[in-house]
Amino acid sequence: MRHGESSPAWSGPLLSVLRLVAGLLFLEVGTMKLFGFPPAPMPMPPIHFHSELWLAGMLETWGGLAIVLGLFTRPVAFILSGEMAVAYFQAHAPKAFFPVTNNGALAVLFCFLFLYLAGAGGGPWSVDAALARARRGAPPTA
């Protein structure tokens, strides 16, 4: 293997780890909106049932949980990528041009990370992969 190349043996597990960490962080954003835990760094407006903020919290909580589990990873990640694009253009882009100055860097990062997961899937350590192995009759991987 040449310098700069990674082992294909690591790519699947690292994809699963990336999915897990992203899902946990996203789940945390959702629970902050819906349940106030962890506490928001700045006061948030009250959430009204069926409001846009409520919908975002639901998507982030339940979508984040699905991403953590690796359950329906591709369609859920695609939806969450779209949510983050909408969040960026509605809440951040009007404030300033650059994501780092309009406080939208995290929304951009989540948008493209979820777009990647929509294409790549959840990796070998996911419910999706376990279900696919079960359908094929293959033994579980370590």
122 lies in some domain: yes
Close Cβ partners of 19 (under 8 Å, ≥ 6 residues apart) = 67, 68, 70, 73, 117, 122, 123, 126
Q: Tell me, what DSSP letter sits at residue 2?
A: -
6 lies in some domain: no
C-alpha–C-alpha distance, residues 76 and 80, integer Å: 6
Query: What domain range is 44 assigned to?
Result: 13-136
C-alpha–C-alpha distance, residues 132 and 126, integer Å: 10
Domain count, the chain: 1
Question: What pLDDT, in 10s, does the model give residues 45-81?
Answer: 888 888 999 999 999 999 999 999 999 999 999 999 9
The whole-model pTM stands at: 0.88
Q: Tell me, what DSSP letter sits at residue 93?
A: T
3 lies in some domain: no
19 lies in some domain: yes
1 lies in some domain: no
C-alpha–C-alpha distance, residues 81 and 109, integer Å: 10
4 lies in some domain: no
List, run by run, the mean pLDDT of 10-residue segments along the chain (142 residues): 68 96 97 92 83 94 98 98 97 95 97 98 96 83 63
C-alpha–C-alpha distance, residues 131 and 60, integer Å: 24
Q: Which pLDDT score is estimated for 59?
A: 97
Q: Return the closest-CA partner of residue 67 out of 57, 54, 80, 56.
A: 80
Q: Which pLDDT score is estimated for 49?
A: 83
